[in-house]
Every structure is written in C-alpha cells, then in structure tokens.
Chains A and B, each alone.
Chain A
Amino acid sequence: MTSASPTAPLEAELLDEPESPLRQAVRHFRRDRLSMAAFWVLGVQLLLALLGKFFTSGWVLFDPSTVRLVDKLRPPLSAASTELLRADQLPTFGLYLLGTDELGRCVFARMLQGAFVSLSIGILAVSISVTIGILLGGLAGYYGQRKLLFLSVDTLIMRFTDVVLCFPTFFLILTVVALLPPSIFNVMIVIGATSWMGTARFVRAEFLAQREQDYVVAAHALGLSELRIIFRHLVPNAMAPVFVSATIDVAVAILTESALSFLGFGVQPPDATWGNILADGRVYIFDAPWLFAVPGAAILTLVLAFNLVGEGLREAMSPKLRLRAS
C-alpha cells in the first residue's frame, strides 16, 4: 500500500480481505449522488419530525392548536396583530413563518406537528406489514411442507395471499376505514394489514432459497433450535430485499394516508398530518394558496426522498444491477 507502483492497487486487492457485501453496498450507495442527496434530505426530515414533536408538545415553542380568529388566512411571513391578541396567543417571534389557516392556527407549527404524525403513520404501518409478511412468508418458506389436514402450510398461506391480492387494495382500505371509527391507529393498522403480500412473497422465496444453503445445514447439525435458526440465521439473510421494499412502502403508505384524508377518512382533527393539512387546504386554494402548496411540496419531497433512497438501496444491494450501472 505504501509504494506508488502501478501494481500496488492490485496487490492490495489480492492481499486484503475481500470486501463484505454490506460494505460494497454502502460504497456503491455513496457513489450514487442522487440517492445520497435523497438520503440527506430524508435525514433532515426525520430530524425535523423529531424536533417538531419536541417543539410542539414537549417544550411548546410553536403552538399548533392556538386558534386566533383575528389572524385568519394570513400569508407566509406576515406579522401577528399584536394589539388584538393576548400575550399567550402570540406566535413565537410574532411571525407566522408559513402563514395561518382558516382558524388562524400557525401553519408552520401544524406542519412541524404533522411531520411526526405522518412519518410515524408511514413507518408504523410498514412495520406492521413487514411483521405480518415475515411471519407468513417465513412460515410458508420454512414449514411449507407440513400438512394440515389435507393441505400443506405453503398452499394454505400462499393461496390466502392470492385471495388478499385479489382485493383492490385502496378499495379495501377505504371499506375498512369507513366502517371503523376514525383514528390514527386504525389508519395505521388498516394500511399495514392490507400491504403485507409483497413482503410475504419475498420472504418465502428467500427462505426457500436459503434453507438449502450449507450454513443452515450446519446450524441444524450443531443442534440449534428451529426458532434460533429462523430468527438468528434465516431472517437476517432475508432482510435485504425486505428492507428495500419497506423503504418504498413507507412512501406508498404516506401517499395512501393523504389520499384517505382527501376522501375524508384519514386522521381526524385536531391531529395534524401533512395529508389532512393538504386535504383541508384545497378548499382555500384561491384565497390561501400556501395552505395547499406548503403541505403538497412537503409530501412530495418526503415521498420522493423515500423512493429515491429505496431505489438507490435496491441498486446498491443487488450485485447484478450494480454491474449494470457501473
């Protein structure tokens, strides 16, 4: 490594340990400028969501729920009417950074509060769907040959997956959400419970392929319990494609939430999500365009960041795609 001779890199490559697949993926991901940009945007948004949660409910610097009827529909960066409002109603800095809505609530504070809710809906919904997917896919992949009465476990689970795939997803979500009492948790659970099918199929395919590998046979020979083999050895090896598709699923879940809000079945007030701020803002599209533009642009950047990061990860993690891209 010390000399500058032309053979040095080759020697280094031969002498060093081979790069692990994970580090290869990371290296490739970092070279992809678009994905890296999206990654940083995503990081900033996650940070904003956490800070937003803190500043709107912990140490209330921006109050999302104060109603100020004298300051309805103020444009961004307009000053609060100090002479009409009580001191505790005034926004921080006496400014509405992103304007106010039809009740005089500060849009900036609501966006901060909504960032956390929107992100947690996306992430929790996907956690639910990934958990169901891993459980069902793992069962079908590992215990697929077992018989229950006259059907194998694999047939049973995969046919059930087919059945669920036959429902038009959005219509199903709409049906269930409309029948359940509306709440954040119901929206999360319904979105999660109707989008696990892809994960289940991935995990099953991955389990079927991994089960015959030498390391699993070795683990069996060592006398490890089946649960340990599944959760310590098989699941981590099957996680790469699941993780990639989960990243993209978060984007889809956030969009689904906003679509549900548009139809009036989303998260109900007073809880703010970017989806319902956008859906409520569309009524004032002529009088207060910022009520529509701000959450719309925010959702677009967040979902775009998730999609680009997911796509970058997909490319970085599969050697075949990586070869093609370079």
Chain B
Amino acid sequence: MWRFLVRTVLQRCVLLFFISVISHMVIHLAPGAPTEVDPMNPRMKAADVVKIRKAFHLDEPLHQQYFHWARDLVTGELRSFKDGAPVLPRIWERFLNSVPLFLCSTLITWTLSFPLGIRAAVKRGAVFDRSTTVIAYALISVPSFFLSYLVILAVVRVFALPVLGMHTFGTQHAASWVRAMDGFWHLAVPSLLSALAGIAILSRYVRSQMVEVLGQDYVRTARAKGLAEDNVVYGHALRNALLPFVTMFGFLLPGLIGGSVIFEDIFAWPGLGRLGYEAILARDFPMILTLNFIAAVLTLLGVLVSDILYAVVDPRIRLE
C-alpha cells in the first residue's frame, strides 16, 4: 500500500512536470503576445513594448521563462502580467467563491441522479423510464447558456428572485439572516442549472449499472428467497452497482476549474472559471499557466483518490 502510494505520487510528479512544460509551449508558441492585447493604444510606444517584454522576461529564451515561472510559483512570488498582483492569493480568493457553487451542484447531482436512475432501472421500459431517457438526452443536448437564459427569465418573472452575482448590491449591512437568504437564492439557480447536465449523465449511468446488476443470478436468488423487493433492490442490487461510482468521485475535482466557465460567466459568479477566462482575454500567461497547473494537479489527485477509494471499497482489489 505505502509502496504503491510513494510510486504513484512520484510518477504523477513526473507527469505534472511534462504537463507544465507542454502548457508552457502551447501558450508561448501560439501567436498573440501579452504586449499585443491593446494594439490601438496610442500611448504604447515601441520602447514601452521592449520595456514590458524585459520586465516580464518575455525576451528571454523559453526554457528560462519556464524556469522563472517555476521558481516564482514555488516561492509564491508569481505575479500577474495584467496588474502585477500576486497570483496565488488571487486564485485562493476565487477558489473560495467557486467551492460553494461546486459543492452545491455536486450535491444536487448525486442526490437526484440515484433515485431517478434506480427507478428507471426497476421500471425498465415503462413510461417513467422512457420519459426520463428522452428528458436526459434533451438536457445533454441543449446548449447550456440557452437553457440558463430561459430559466433566468422564468425565475425572475415568476418568483422575482435575484440570480446574478453572489450577493444583492447594498445588503452588506443587512441582518445576518437576510444576507444568508440572499446568498442562498443567488447560489440556488446557478448550482441547479450546472447540476442538470450532470444529473442527466449520471442518472443514465446509474440506470445502466442497475439494469446490469438486476439481471445477475444473486438478485434472482434474493428474490427467490422471498426477500421484500426494497431489500432486493437497495440491499443486494444497489450495493453492488455502487462500485464504479466510487471511481467517479475522483473525476469531479477538475470540474472546479474547467466545468464552470460558462455558468460563472452567465451568472456573473466570481469563481475560478471566470478568473481563467479573464486571464485568457488579457493574455495573462502566469495566471493561465498556474490555473492549468492547478487543474492538472486536481485531476491527478482525483485519479489517486479514486484508486485508493476503489481499493478501500472493493476487497478484491489490492494496490501493488
């Protein structure tokens, strides 16, 4: 177990190094330099461009730029090209904003998908199964911002609820329960909408797993013993169908950054995805690289966590 951990962590570190090198190359070899963001600015002279390039080490060879980035990242000195603010505190601040949205939508996804998927599997071929199938595919197929706009309109018209941003402007000095409710309503709509596609995918997956397990011999045996149907479905079938989902927990983590760009943009939510989007617009290389790096770390962590969870849940698997 420990040997496995040490070895995978070392392997992952090597992988991380390659990831950072590749993302460095992608960013620096693609056209579009940070100095060209505002080419129409009349006050920007050639001498200024040279000065900026020098200040950001952009005139040095690529491997030295990489070295600068890595050193600054490790020492926490990394500064944004855009405003010179330190990168890591800014990411941390946005990360804290992203976490509630991420947690809420994950929670909604996982609590709704299982009942829906299980019921569809038990009632296979019935109206419920077929209608959830069509609805699930429709939810996967709709452009997320199209659906979001329609829902925003409906929520604002029908319930008169605030939906954009994290707080209503001017409530900083209101009573704490008012602020809590306000925060809750701001959180509810975006997390529900970003959960929808997840529910559609996950509930289909739960359904196919359950259908698979319900056809097994031991389920027939359980039925033959005369167990109550609930006991058969939840006690015998579901517990075995759950195994693959343990691994899926691990793949959730990277969604913190990549999955939220569109929703954070629609709902003006100051989270990590939006930070990345703004950084890309401003050609803010240190910010983009660091976010990419963090996303890769999260992905690898997720895979590691799911490997370990798998071994914990399934006694047949040994980590060697």
By a beta-carbon cutoff of 8 Å, the part of chain A in contact with chain B is 34, 159, 162-163, 165-172, 174-176, 178-181, 251, 255, 258-259, 262-263, 275, 278-279, 282, 285, 292, 296, 299-300, 303-304, 306-308, 311, 324
Within 8 A of A (CB), among B279-311: 280-281, 283, 288, 291-292, 295-296, 299-300
B89 smallest CB distance to A (angstroms): 21
Are B215 and A163 in touch, CB under 8 angstroms? no
Are B23 and A296 in touch, CB under 8 angstroms? no
In the assembled complex, which residues on chain A have CB atoms less than 8 Å from the CB atom of B61?
none
Are A167 and B292 in touch, CB under 8 angstroms? yes
Are B143 and A259 in touch, CB under 8 angstroms? yes
Contact of A167 with B19 at beta-carbon distance under 8 Å, contacts A180-B30, A262-B145 already known: yes
Contact partner of B141 among A166, A169, A303, CB < 8 A?
Answer: A303
Are B261 and A174 in touch, CB under 8 angstroms? yes
Contact of A168 with B259 at beta-carbon distance under 8 Å, contacts A175-B27, A175-B288 already known: yes
B46 smallest CB distance to A (angstroms): 22
In the assembled complex, which residues on chain B have CB atoms less than 8 Å from the CB atom of A258?
143, 145-146
Q: B4 near A: Cβ within 8 Å?
A: no
In the assembled complex, which residues on chain A have CB atoms less than 8 Å from the CB atom of B62?
none
Are A174 and B149 in touch, CB under 8 angstroms? no
In the assembled complex, which residues on chain B have CB atoms less than 8 Å from the CB atom of A262?
143, 145, 262, 265
By a beta-carbon cutoff of 8 Å, the part of chain B in contact with chain A is 15, 18-19, 22-23, 26-27, 30-32, 130, 133-134, 137-138, 140-146, 149, 153, 211-212, 215, 254, 257-259, 261-262, 265, 273, 276-277, 280-281, 283, 288, 291-292, 295-296, 299-300
Are A324 and B212 in touch, CB under 8 angstroms? yes
With CB as the reference atom, state the residue of chain A lying closest to B33.
A179
Contact partner of A166 among B32, B145, B212, B296, CB < 8 A?
Answer: B296
In the assembled complex, which residues on chain A have CB atoms less than 8 Å from the CB atom of B258?
168-171
Contact partner of B149 among A171, A175, A285, CB < 8 A?
Answer: A285
Are B149 and A282 in touch, CB under 8 angstroms? yes
In the assembled complex, which residues on chain A have CB atoms less than 8 Å from the CB atom of B261?
170-171, 174, 263
Are B145 and A168 in touch, CB under 8 angstroms? no
In the assembled complex, which residues on chain B have CB atoms less than 8 Å from the CB atom of A292?
146, 149
User: Can you give 22 contacting A-B residue pairs, CB < 8 Å?
Assistant: A34-B130, A34-B133, A159-B15, A163-B22, A165-B299, A167-B19, A168-B257, A168-B258, A170-B258, A171-B291, A174-B261, A175-B292, A176-B30, A178-B281, A179-B32, A258-B145, A259-B145, A262-B145, A282-B149, A285-B153, A299-B143, A300-B146
With CB as the reference atom, state the residue of chain B lying closest to A311.
B137
Are A171 and B276 in touch, CB under 8 angstroms? yes
Q: How distant is the Cα of A250 from the Cα of B212 in the complex, in angstroms? A: 28
Q: How distant is the Cα of A276 from the Cα of B254 in the complex, in angstroms? A: 28
Report which residue of B134, B146, B153, B296 has the largest number of chain A beta carbons within 10 angstroms of its beta carbon. B146
Q: How distant is the Cα of A3 from the Cα of B192 in the complex, in angstroms? A: 62
A52 smallest CB distance to B (angstroms): 20
Q: How distant is the Cα of A178 from the Cα of B27 in the complex, in angstroms? A: 10
Are B137 and A307 in touch, CB under 8 angstroms? yes
Are B288 and A180 in touch, CB under 8 angstroms? no
Contact of A174 with B280 at beta-carbon distance under 8 Å, contacts A167-B296, A180-B32, A181-B31 already known: yes
Are A255 and B143 in touch, CB under 8 angstroms? yes
Contact partner of A168 among B15, B143, B146, B295, CB < 8 A?
Answer: B295
List 18 extra interface pairs beyond A300-B138, A308-B137, CB under 8 A.
A159-B15, A163-B18, A166-B295, A166-B299, A168-B258, A168-B299, A169-B258, A174-B276, A174-B277, A178-B281, A255-B143, A259-B143, A262-B143, A263-B261, A300-B141, A300-B143, A303-B140, A304-B137
In the assembled complex, which residues on chain B have CB atoms less than 8 Å from the CB atom of A175?
26-27, 280, 288, 292
Are B30 and A263 in touch, CB under 8 angstroms? no
Contact partner of B15 among A162, A278, A279, CB < 8 A?
Answer: A162
Contact of A163 with B254 at beta-carbon distance under 8 Å, contacts A171-B276, A285-B153 already known: no
In the assembled complex, which residues on chain B have CB atoms less than 8 Å from the CB atom of A308?
137
B196 smallest CB distance to A (angstroms): 14
With CB as the reference atom, state the residue of chain A lying closest to B289.
A175
Are B31 and A180 in touch, CB under 8 angstroms? yes
Q: How distant is the Cα of A165 from the Cα of B153 in the complex, in angstroms? A: 36
Q: How distant is the Cα of A285 from the Cα of B292 in the complex, in angstroms? A: 35
Contact of A179 with B283 at beta-carbon distance under 8 Å, contacts A163-B19, A167-B19, A259-B262 already known: yes
Are A263 and B262 in touch, CB under 8 angstroms? yes
In the assembled complex, which residues on chain B have CB atoms less than 8 Å from the CB atom of A159?
15, 18
Contact partner of A275 among B143, B257, B283, B296, CB < 8 A?
Answer: B143
Q: How distant is the Cα of A299 from the Cα of B142 in the complex, in angstroms? A: 7
Are A304 and B22 in touch, CB under 8 angstroms? no
Q: How distant is the Cα of A316 from the Cα of B32 in the complex, in angstroms? A: 47
In the assembled complex, which residues on chain B have CB atoms less than 8 Å from the CB atom of A168?
254, 257-259, 292, 295, 299
In the assembled complex, which residues on chain B have CB atoms less than 8 Å from the CB atom of A255?
141, 143
In the assembled complex, which residues on chain A have CB atoms less than 8 Å from the CB atom of B138?
300, 304
Are A179 and B30 in touch, CB under 8 angstroms? yes
